[in-house]
Structure 1
């Protein structure tokens, strides 16, 4: 297993980084003579490697968060330092491998290049022109790229040499798998108000007052802002916008592919290196010796690789007439294509579609009108901003422009009217009564300015105004409290008598439940509590709305020969071994690094970082 784990980690080291380095980035603003950030031993740290990896890490984090990061934020997260540290570790291993005389031969490097999916054509074979194009596009020569592959392979050899002798240890995995594989059998039932000895009474005034005072936060108004605003949105003037018929026709013509679609076919295309190979495959299909799917697999491809989707006849070139004459399921060809001779399978007929302008007009009119309305709103923005700067009040704006005046009682929960806009909420929450109004743009192109007339601090709602809500909350609290107390009484009786059904006539039985199970209708952590119980023990478990009574009926150890237990043990062992392998290799890397001279040109590092600002 140690070998497998070492191989897995080595594979990530060798191949996992293979094409991250191909994400192009040009470090501009640097002296043409500066090509390195420094060196580790005899191995240089290339500026291009640092810039590419830093760019990759930033893009990856932006994709994960959905936000654009400034370089100041990148520095706060320590991404630049992490990238530099990673490169130093990598070059440390490259230097150590070179000192030990470890290297990969030309044949091994060539095999890695040819095996890369990024350099394979549609037929699955190595595409030399595609290889040269990809490297050129990313600013690499073949020699530079293949040297990088050679170093990555050497690092893999070094890693395997370090970790290959690590002994296997399944004890940890066996213990955890046995723990996870244990099961419990139990019965349980949820209480409701019918299980209470007496109904919940109506609260007295004193009880309501006490509950109100003890839970004052629940009956407190949030901060409230009284706001006056003047706003103009595209929707406000949409009905006044006239759309020219010629503009409708122009937009319809622009979108003609959406409204007028010729007859199409769902087609798959299988490319062959030559016509003889394609004809031989067709002969096997027609004789029943093979089928189209088998021929696809024989080419080392999946159906997704050859799917053309829905296509019109003119997109199929010389094959168009034959494909369109075929019936669903037919295979035709071979026919010439830009990529070589091909067989085509026609899977379905999609009839022609045409939506005339008269039917599309309503949607097109709304779109055009909205666009005109947005432009009209934006065209008056500068004039309105000048009026505000000149001292015009919101009331003045509503009289002298198309802005509409309104008022709003705003809290953080407001979402109606203009409060549906994030920009309005942000301004409403941050503005102060002494602030002068400012013109702000809305997400849909609208504009507004607002004034905070009054800010009311959070304050308790008088009991007289919220009496019904307090009474409902008191009753729910009493219900939960009384049901839990009743459940505890029942659990004590069940544990004493051993007879669950005397207390709860229709319990739910759960047989062979393991620690990872989730039981519907039970609170979080319920199964964990069951596993804490002794056999025969009964317990009351609190829920959001009341309580559950549960009794443990039986325990069972994990069966080592159980398929799931065995699979868990194997997975855990592999993960544990992989963790040990990685930890040991990290220690090795740090040890080598302490005895290897590292030289860094901090000015070069800062120059690269400056290109990201």
Structure 2
């Protein structure tokens, strides 16, 4: 779960992006999805989790950043919980990013770097979450988003300012990093390198103890590994859905309403004319007259434009009103007065003088009331339907806000309440990975998993068509399963863990035997329990890379070892141990004109640039000084997981 978070932080882009936007608005706004996350009252605002130079990072700030981080992760993994996030190091990752961000801000201030108001304004205007229906920045949307996040304009500006300072400092440090050809050639030639050896597997299952663990052993093992048994949060949702069927009003328009709409939209049903033109814009009336004269003498408009070093443009179909808005009334009057195939009298606009050829004329006859009646009836019926459904939804929402129960709303609308089974944030029925909640509940899931177990809420799940009234009940917080409920599972894990310890001892014996001159196969056969036969490996790095998947850890180890050595490697989840023996390395060669050489040189340059940036960040933190308050950090961790 947390690997996505870590991989992003460790990427070249991630370094800059997270430093620029991790603070109070990072995960809330970066994906155009503003979640309603509050602050935490259990940790006093005066507590500090860290001090960077002269700047203090408060417990509240860390809480907000961690909550925003997990909200962002839930877009990819809806079932991730705060306990599992913290268990896997997520809180430490967030704190480190806050510390680095504060360090860079302090460093910039110390040496006189700044991010001005205009630059910050431009950043705010580019954030998609702050755009209105027309796609442009909307101040009302901006203020509403800040209000939902309990943020101030000053906080957002401070955060963005520090992000811009980070870009000013870190990007130049990594920019233009290069790799010497000999250095790159040495690394590129590794792809041609061939390695031979053997890999033996010592499975834990071959060494599991026969007896049962004592209660004390099992309890101790459970406490050590309880993070492996964290269950996702589960909730039961009760809901009703309503749409057009719930409308009791008559939505058929009357003849009077149809006639009134016809009169209001008379221009829409009047005869219309649109034209397609090819135009050329020149600086002066004299130049336009010259072009017109050349065309009248037989030269095409396009050819005359090329002779003048200009280019024509095709426009249309376009109405006179539209052309007036784009150019001027004089140009539109001239174009709509000319006949098809002719050149309109040149006219001026703010752009210059227009020379236009009329390529096509389209005329649409108007419609009388009887002809337009069907179209208007459909339009009015849809408007009345939407209005009636919207009024009903508003009425239901008002009742909900006044404390009316879901049962009362259902009775009023004559609908049956549907109750889901306990579900996770991913919409899956808990305990059944193949069963999902009904599709209609999907759009409300995120809200359902943020709301408290209280009064119902209204959601528009299909705009203008379907509304959902829902409430959450039977909330089961994410937590490790009690040992009594998973005793069999923990016992199996304990056996594997104990087997892994014995397998490690066997791996050590095999290592020693191979180091003394034995083969892996002979050393494994000498063990008291039967083991799988060792696999022989004979591969080049190029063949390994061509497999197109993540390299298995034992192979990765073999391609990082010295020739003639033997090493052991633990398998994941107490699965056992690998013994890897590398017998031969055949060095590869590569020419400078090989595409692999250029690719390797570019990749190494990026890696060196990233290293420059990381070294600069470390040096900045060291110069300003960083102090961590482990007690306060632990308090935040407990607050977020609900332990106190």
* TM-score interval, normalised by the smaller of the two chains: 0.3 to 0.5
Scaled by the length of structure 1, the TM-score of the pair is 0.41
Scaled by the length of structure 2, the TM-score of the pair is 0.39
